[in-house]
A and B are shown apart, each in its own frame.
Chain A
Amino acid sequence: MNQAEVDTTQLLKGVLDLAVLAVLADADSYGYDVVRRLRDNGLDHVGDASVYGTLRRLYQAGALNSYVVPSDEGPHRKYYGLNNRGRKALDQSAQTWASLSKALNHLLNGRNNGHDK
């Protein structure tokens, strides 16, 4: 792992809950599919175990429903979906994230502008 990857991993940890909730708000999904969709959306370095652990924790915390769907090839798949609590958590986290990213962008832009002068 190079430095950029380590940084990404560290930054991701804080917002992985939000990312997973956002993916599930889109459509119910099973563990490996959540990983794939996160990566498809540009979160290349998201770890499989991190996603799986996050799913189990959110489920345990009562933010997710789960149900098993039999599949023809391969193993049965445990699908997860947001319940009301999960949707509330997503709304709150999304707001927090929006204000945080706005503040950070502002900070970073200010720094860039300062360098430009």
Chain B
Amino acid sequence: MTSNDQAGDVATYAASVRAALSDLPSDQAEVLLEDLEDHLREIAADAGGPLAERLGSPEQYAQELRAAYGAAQAGSRRPEPAFGDVRRVVTWVAKSAWYRELRAFLPQLRPAWWVLRGYLAALILTAAFSPGYNLGPIPDPTTKRGLAEILAAGVAIWLSVRIGRRSHNLPQGARFLAASANVLIAFIAVVVLGNMHSFAYSELIGTTTPEQQPFAAAFAAGQVTNIYPYSQDGKPLTNVLLYDQEGRPITVDKSEAQTTYPVAADGKAITNAYPLTQRHVNGDPVVAPRVAFPPWPAATAAANPTASPSPSPTH
């Protein structure tokens, strides 16, 4: 056999082997067949004669390769055909440059996560031990309670960083536990943060004046930006003037909507006539929300001359 014939024989034989193993996942086949040609060339050079004579048919050779390579991993490495596409995508992502960059960059964020983790842990503990307490993201340092919270957060952050710095020499099992604990803290923190009393705008800006207490202060549900009064029989009322127990006009929280106040004869704006006439930022008028009226007891309804007749009159 000339060396040219040999090269052709090797190429043909290798191609047949590859074809017989084409059902293997590409990454697996790549590892297995990486230097198949070099190996076959070695045999051809040493022995002479066609490869098939020495090694058997390419299909047999492929089968033997598969058994020797895959025997220990069959099943575990063979993906479900349905996940073939997912696997390909995962492989593609894992190989991409931006993913590797991200992987390289993530460890640098570790200390930041340790600090955040300590803060979140303190937040979770505060929430767990004081149900109903109006928890804010930043404790108020002017109260004893707030100071205690800040102190607790400091200790928790110190502990978290300490744990983080020692985590690299944890045994395998403890690592898994630690990872689970991290996920748990992050998950619970999302729930706690979600339930947190949202930062009232006025808390940050402090726009309210002492005479005009924000009506919303009494409402845990959030800001009140308008009031829609109805009569007992459900008719919407207009220009209803509201005053508190001291006789002060009741005003609502400022909202993003543009409010037009009626102007009194003396030129002053009337700010407590409800409902307020408001327009959204885009110019659309703010419309009244759908409301559910309470079912009045029959006697009250009957006493009201404008109420619709009760289905089962009792008088």
Contacts and interface: CB of A to CB of B under 8 A. Distances in A.
Q: Which of A16, A32, A51, A78 counts the most B-chain CB atoms under 10 A from its CB?
A: A32
A39 interface: no
B65 A49 contact: yes
Nearest to B38: A75
Nearest to B54: A48
A50 B42 contact: no
Nearest to A73: B45
A75 to B, nearest CB: 4
A32 B34 CA distance: 15
Interface residues of B, number: 28
Contacts of B73: 57
B304 to A, nearest CB: 86
Contact of A51 (B37, B45, B60, B68): B68
Interface in A10-53: 13, 16, 30-32, 47-53
B303 interface: no
Interface in B1-48: 31-32, 34-39, 41-43, 45-46
User: How extensive is the interface on chain A, given as a class?
Assistant: 20 to 34
Interface in A68-90: 73-78
A56 interface: yes
Nearest to B68: A53
A49 B13 CA distance: 13
A66 to B, nearest CB: 9
B68 A78 contact: no
B38 A52 contact: no
B201 interface: no
A5 B65 CA distance: 18
A48 B31 CA distance: 17
B38 A53 contact: no
Contact of A49 (B34, B35, B42, B64): B64
Contacts of B45: 73-75
B69 A57 contact: yes
B42 A30 contact: yes
B259 to A, nearest CB: 71
Interface in B121-161: none
A47 B31 CA distance: 19
B55 A31 contact: no
Given A48-B55, A73-B45, A31 B39 contact: yes
B39 A52 contact: yes
B43 A32 contact: yes
Contact of B64 (A53, A60, A73): A53
The 10 tightest CB contacts between A and B, nearest first, are A53-B68, A49-B64, A53-B69, A32-B42, A50-B68, A53-B65, A49-B65, A75-B38, A75-B41, A31-B39
Interface of A: 13, 16, 30-32, 47-54, 56-57, 60, 73-78
Given A53-B69, A74-B42, 7 more contacts: A49-B55, A49-B62, A50-B65, A50-B67, A53-B67, A57-B70, A73-B45
20 contacts: A13-B67, A13-B71, A32-B43, A47-B64, A48-B61, A50-B64, A50-B65, A52-B65, A53-B64, A53-B67, A54-B69, A57-B69, A57-B73, A74-B45, A75-B38, A75-B45, A76-B38, A77-B42, A78-B35, A78-B38
